[in-house]
Chains A and B, each alone.
Chain A
Amino acid sequence: MADPAGPEIQRLIQLLARLPGLGPRSARRAALHLIKRRDQLMGPLADALAVANERVVSCSCCGNVDTTDPCTICRDARRDPSIIVVVEDVSDLWALERAGAVPGRYHVLGGVLSALDGIRPEDLAIPRLVERASAPDMREVILALNATVDGQTTAHYLTDALAGLPVKVTRLAHGVPVGGELDYLDEGTLSAAMRQRTTF
């Protein structure tokens, strides 16, 4: 069967289909949508992509992505420089920023240890974290990693790697979600919440 569109459009569809969450069908729809709205959407998108491609860099301090190095967060003088929040990926950093919950700065590991997926300690930004945590005014390293086997293995590894430094190493609490009902929680979450209870 012949392709209904020329090679340029096919190439656009193929590239769009590689985006997370998009398959061939959605990619065709997206491509058609862009073509129909060339002036309002395709042109501005192409420009935005070109600018992003040219300017986006990885922050040499924390590993965040931004158009400046160091990134906006690392340069923000209002943030507490003595606190580092360690995250697996930039998407987690964005999630924490949406919550506005982090007073300090970040450190993006670039993944978690996973023997089964071949991700080894040297594949992660661990030496840089130890270096940052060794700065004289550093007080606390908060491990904001997923509560999965790999996430928690990484948390244990980092705790050991930071053990010799005069910083407090903490991790996010596990427990009752905001708006959650106890009756619907699994036993593991409930017992973690009970262990990590706080004064009201």
Chain B
Amino acid sequence: MTVVVRLSLAQFRSYPSLDLEVGMPVVALAGENGAGKTNVLEAISLFTQGRGLRRAEFSDMARAGGDGTFSAALVIDGEGGEHRLGTGLSAPGEDGRALRVCRVDGAQAGSPAAFGEHIRLVWLTPDLDGLFRGSAGERRRFLDRLVLAVDGSHGARVSALERALRSRNRVLEEDAGNRAWLDAIEREVAEYGVAVAAARAETVTRLAALIAETRDETSPFPWAGLALEGEIDALVASLPAVDAEDAYRGLLAAGRSRDRAAGRTLIGPQASDLSVRHGPKDIAASLASTGEQKALLIGLVLSHARLVSAMSGLAPVVLLDEIAAHLDPRRRAALYRSLAALGGQVWMTGADPELFADMPGDASLFHVTPGRIVRQR
């Protein structure tokens, strides 16, 4: 089991400095709104690719009134022994740009991907509450984060696809007669597009299989039915990758004037959607009640954590922001049981310490006030 045994922050958000010794499998942070609970989860969420659970700019994470830099360090204890991980924002160099720093055991790491050797993270924040009723774009972003947790190169693939698509849109807008240039760009769009769609399909298939295996009709967290919807997803599901690339390229070439009029590329992984159904009721997740949607989302995130554990061999550290408040005592107890069965460490936040009263014995509870965290049990 991988657990964070120590978290140190300097000049991060509301914390001029913080040194928190933990080590228990369950960590609860209680405190008033605005006390800085989510900031702690956000600091941990920086130990993977991307911009953390708020998707904020790094410069915004530095404490207001500080020098613009910040650092976050973890000591983790896992099967390979203790490791020290560090990240943060350096002072601006001569070119005026501050750089993200990543360190593993005191040595500079090239990118945050290096943290994936030691720690995997899964999180759920209140921002995702409207996921099933929200836009397809939000669900794609959610899905890409699921893929990234099991496939570290997915982020680079998605960025490359976005760049290729923006290039295509630009040439369609400014130089649509240049067919040779469009042909060349569309080869890249097709290559990355099929790679992105295939990686998503693989994760969805594995996750759906895991959900089918562990499905429990009596669980308070209903099982989810998952499917990818989109023209490119249908191509990838029915053809070998090379043929899917050719077919997608054909669709792109045929759709140039339509895409030009629309100002964007209408077919591709950027137009796909993750369809989620409430399994036991067999209805679209968006039609379930608000409470059911929350339970469904928690069930999905727990299944994903199991998948990460099975695929990477590292039980993930799970970050659950403001989650207990939305659950009745029965669901809370079931959540604690599921988290214990997962075998990883979990960090939870909530305004009311009473919400954590029924936590298992191997839990620590901290009281958070602005800039300060004190252990309660």
Contacts and interface: CB of A to CB of B under 8 A. Distances in A.
A77 interface: no
A160 interface: yes
A153 B180 contact: no
Nearest to A114: B167
B151 interface: yes
Nearest to A189: B153
Contacts of A64: none
B95 A153 contact: no
Contact of A121 (B94, B180, B188, B191): B180
A186 interface: yes
Nearest to A126: B180
B180 A161 contact: yes
B157 A188 contact: yes
Nearest to B154: A187
Interface stretch (A1-9, A20-28, A49-57, A85-93): A20-28
Q: Which residue among A26, A153, A156, A160 has the maximum number of chain B CB atoms within 10 Å of its CB?
A: A153
Interface string A125-159: 00000000000000000000000111011101100
Contacts of B325: none
Contact of B94 (A22, A116, A120, A153): A22
Given A153-B164, A153-B167, A186 B153 contact: yes
Given A160-B183, A186-B152, A23 B94 contact: yes
Given A23-B95, A187-B151, A115 B180 contact: no
Contacts of B174: 115
A113 interface: yes
A22 B93 CA distance: 10
A167 B181 CA distance: 21
B170 A156 contact: no
Contacts of B151: 187
B331 interface: no
A24 B94 contact: yes
A149 B167 contact: yes
Nearest to A17: B94
A44 B151 CA distance: 54
Given A116-B170, A188-B157, A160 B94 contact: no
B19 interface: no
Interface in B200-244: none
A125 to B, nearest CB: 16
Given A23-B93, A186-B152, A188-B157, A120 B185 contact: no
Interface string B140-176: 0000000000011100110010011011101100110
Interface in B78-108: 93-95
A22 B94 CA distance: 7
A175 B171 CA distance: 31
B184 A153 contact: yes
A152 B167 CA distance: 13
Nearest to A187: B153
B187 interface: yes
Given A22-B94, A186-B152, A160 B184 contact: yes
A145 to B, nearest CB: 12
Contacts of A186: 152-153, 156
B166 A116 contact: yes
Contacts of B135: none
A127 to B, nearest CB: 13
A24 B96 CA distance: 10
Interface string B176-198: 00101101110110011001000
Contacts of B167: 114-116, 149-150, 153
A108 B156 CA distance: 28
A187 B170 CA distance: 30
A160 B192 contact: no
Interface in B21-75: none
Given A121-B178, A153-B167, A156-B185, 9 more contacts: A23-B93, A23-B94, A115-B175, A120-B178, A121-B180, A149-B163, A149-B192, A153-B184, A157-B181
5 contacts: A23-B95, A25-B94, A120-B175, A186-B153, A188-B157
Interface of A: 22-26, 113-116, 120-121, 148-150, 152-154, 156-157, 160-161, 186-188
